[in-house]
């Protein structure tokens, strides 16, 4: 693929197995060098990476190869190159969150999810671009410039994990970690034609993830296939004493589902008939559902009226939490500090004005207003009550179906700059994803064909809390259907 050494294009399980096998010539060092060469050659066109970590990756690869040579097991991800969204901490590597306000801040400790991937044998080849503090749907809000879609560089890759999605789609790295607060893994996965999974809230530790909205954020895998994404999820999941919201779930016990026995939910409110440009996504959903029914699966028509309120609820809850979480960036303890200032409050104001981008400041203002005296009851508390009611509606829905299938995004990728001046249009890009975060559900997006213009479409599978394995099982079988699954973009070096 792409005219490079093709060892990096193997399924992750096969790649790691060859590295573990002393009699096989494939090494972690070779995989890392191939990945770094692809990044050096290709990334000028895409802007997926904010920082390459070649020295760190080579050091990690050498350790993996030494273990394999000694007959030790380096782990299920042995030697597999990994791209990491730049809101996850890696000690000794600057952490920016796509913002100027952190300056050259270097975290002293690991994000638990990243450390677990490294302990499983993965090698970190770089930190990827994102919308500033993960606030956006296009990766245009980064202080360091936009990322471009490998299927068409005039188009956005989605966001906020657009750098991770572009890195995987273009073949620069077989695996990436992203974070998903309202669709920030699944939406860019769909627009870039890869697989992206938002786990059940609490399945993966948020320790070391820079907080946007703590009750919504979740770290998850991005990969070319469900099998690869599942391998990464299994490496990073589990209880963490540093994150009190984490829980343990048994993924393996849920494997091997028979599609013919399933009840497939169709949510009336997810229909795209009246959405401009929504015809290709709706057609993809209908095609997949028809194929499911041919296996014997049954249709479950559902109505979840509060889904229609998910965007306004999300854009009250998430900014409210962000306004609290981002208050720590004050120019005093770390990061950027403005020059001058008449007093401490003036220093805070100058620092935040210089350091935060427009979208971050917009959401801080929305959240602060929603929490302010006299307005919290009218806005924030009502949003939280609606969120609880939405979760109850999903609980009732999953009593009538096993999984829900929908489009991931209402349209394919749009052109860079097309929605940059229209925040409401940008917010509506997440209309099919935010409800999973509000309800804490697992959901995965898999590629499902392309538009006539060659831009990818994604299909989303939702499941009940804790049933991440079931969601993957169904998604993996959708992925194998005609017209679905990863297709490499036409990349030239």
Does 137 participate in catalysis according to the annotation? Answer: no
How far, in Å, CA of 206 to CA of 199, rounded? 12
Q: Both tokens of residue 197?
A: 């999974």
Q: Which of 184, 225, 406, 445 is catalytic?
A: 184
Catalytic residue among 113, 160, 225, 323: 160
Tell me which of 30, 67, 85, 419 is the catalytic residue: 85
Q: Is 310 a catalytic residue?
A: no
The closest of 386, 400, 384 to 306, measured between CA atoms, is: 386
| N-terminal to C-terminal alpha carbon distance within the chain | 11
Contact 110, 89 (CB under 8 A): yes
422 vs 264: CA distance, rounded Å: 35
Sign of CA dihedral 167, 173, 178, 182: positive
- Are 31 and 5 contacting, i.e. CB atoms less than 8 angstroms apart? no
Is 184 one of the annotated active-site residues of the chain? yes
Active-site residue list = 85, 160, 184
């Amino acid at each position: 693929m792409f005219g490079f050494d093709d060892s990096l294009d193997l399924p992750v399980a096969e790649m790691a197995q060859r590295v573990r096998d002393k009699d096989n010539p494939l090494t972690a060092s070779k995989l890392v060098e191939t990945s770094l060469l692809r990044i050096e050659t290709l990334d000028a066109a895409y802007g997926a990476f904010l920082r390459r970590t070649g020295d760190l990756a080579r050091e990690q690869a050498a350790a993996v190869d030494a273990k394999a040579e000694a007959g030790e097991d380096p782990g299920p991800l042995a030697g597999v190159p990994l791209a990491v969204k730049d809101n996850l901490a890696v000690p000794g590597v600057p952490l920016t969150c796509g913002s100027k306000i952190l300056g050259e801040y270097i975290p002293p400790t690991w994000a638990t999810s990243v450390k677990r991937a490294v302990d499983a044998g993965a090698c970190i080849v770089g930190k990827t671009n994102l919308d500033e503090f993960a606030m956006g749907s296009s990766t245009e809000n980064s202080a360091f410039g936009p990322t471009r879609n490998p299927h068409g560089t005039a188009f956005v890759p989605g966001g906020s994990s657009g750098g991770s999605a572009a890195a995987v789609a273009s073949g620069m790295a077989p695996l990436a970690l992203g974070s998903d607060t309202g669709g920030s893994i699944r939406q860019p996965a769909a627009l870039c034609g890869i697989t992206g999974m938002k786990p059940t809230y609490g399945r993966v530790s948020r320790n070391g993830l820079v907080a946007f909205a703590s009750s919504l954020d979740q770290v998850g895998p991005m990969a070319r296939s469900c099998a690869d994404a599942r391998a990464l999820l299994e490496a990073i999941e589990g209880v963490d004493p540093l994150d009190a919201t984490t829980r343990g779930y048994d993924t393996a016990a849920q494997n091997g589902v028979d599609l013919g026995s399933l009840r497939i939910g169709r949510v009336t409110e997810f229909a795209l008939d009246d959405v401009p440009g929504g015809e290709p996504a709706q057609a993809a959903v209908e095609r997949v559902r028809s194929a499911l029914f041919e296996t014997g699966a049954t249709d479950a028509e559902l109505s979840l009226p509060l889904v229609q309120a998910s965007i306004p609820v999300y854009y009250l809850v998430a900014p409210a939490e962000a306004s609290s979480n981002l208050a720590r960036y004050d120019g005093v303890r770390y990061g950027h500090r403005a020059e001058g200032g008449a007093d401490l409050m003036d220093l805070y104001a100058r620092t935040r004005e210089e350091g935060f981008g427009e979208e971050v400041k917009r959401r801080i203002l929305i959240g602060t207003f929603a929490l302010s005296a006299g307005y919290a009851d009218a806005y924030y508390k009502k949003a939280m009550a609606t969120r609880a009611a939405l979760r109850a509606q999903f609980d009732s829905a999953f009593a009538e179906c096993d999984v829900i299938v929908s489009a991931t995004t209402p349209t394919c990728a749009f052109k860079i700059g097309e929605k940059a001046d229209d925040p409401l249009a940008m917010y509506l890009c997440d209309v099919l994803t935010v409800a999973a975060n509000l309800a804490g559900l697992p959901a995965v997006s898999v590629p499902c064909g392309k538009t006539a213009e060659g831009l990818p479409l994604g299909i989303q599978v939702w499941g009940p809390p804790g049933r991440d394995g079931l969601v993957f099982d169904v998604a993996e079988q959708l992925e194998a259907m005609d017209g679905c699954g990863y297709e490499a973009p036409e990349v030239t070096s």
